[in-house]
Structure 1
Amino acid sequence: MKDFLFVFRTDYSKMPKGSPEEMQALSKRWMDWIGGIGAQGNLVDRGNRLVPGTGKVVKPASVITDGPYMEIKESIGGYTIVKANSLEEAAALAKGCPILNFGGNVEVREISAL
């Protein structure tokens, strides 16, 4: 089996900002989805969410700027690492991701062993 990275991208303005109960229900949907992948034996690292609107961008010549920028519509919200036999199988695992319900997407990338 190969390792694949799921990169979760979304427009933060479209993410739900509900009551604590609604947010708890959304969190449960994420945990259920990740738990399902784990139950199949395909979870390598459940990953983490990234803090929105924070970070630095390192460029050539040792230039460091603030970023990612909030004016960017789509931002990376987090990641997970799974294992699958093929890119197609990994993409099928991503189909149930809750971020898809909010206009987000999951980028699926094979991780090189080198």
Structure 2
Amino acid sequence: MGKYLVLYRSTVSAAEQMQNPDAEAAADGMKAWMDWAQKAGDAIVDLGTPTQTVDGADPSASSFIGGYSIVEADSLAALDALFEGHPHLAWGGTIEVLELLSIPGLG
């Protein structure tokens, strides 16, 4: 089974998104994420957390990595199916997936 690092990209930073004073919209957003997590089930190794760009990052970047997850999947088809209907995509963001490789000699 493959393990994957999932990066959630957006044109708006996570910090800016979380400044939204609309509590109802924030609750709806969290519910959408929890619904996806429930659907994904055991495929989720680490649901992740929002991320923040630190000093040294390019301030003119056209997109931000706003968060991450770590998931497992048996195949690329299963991985694709896992992200069908994902709330981040529904809100106009993009998802970048990187396979985590084993380090030779470390198991």
Equivalent residues, number: 100
- Match for 1:102: what amino acid? W
In the other structure, the counterpart of 1:23 is 26
State the Cα RMSD in Å. 2.2
Unaligned runs of 5+ in 1: 57-65
Deviation at 1:97, TM superposition (A): 1.6
For residues 58 and 90 of structure 2, what CA distance do their matches in structure 1 show?
24
Unaligned runs of 5+ in 2: none
Equivalent residue for 1:67, pick from 49, 57, 60: 57
- Match for 1:7: what amino acid? L
Deviation at 1:73, TM superposition (A): 1.8
For residues 107 and 19 of structure 1, what CA distance do their matches in structure 2 show?
28
Is 1:55 the counterpart of 2:54? The answer is yes
Give CA-to-partner distance per residue, 1:36-59, whole Å, 9 cap, x none.
212xx21111111112xx314xxx
For residues 4 and 57 of structure 2, what CA distance do their matches in structure 1 show?
26
TM-score by length of 1: 0.75
Equivalent residue for 1:105, pick from 78, 82, 94: 94
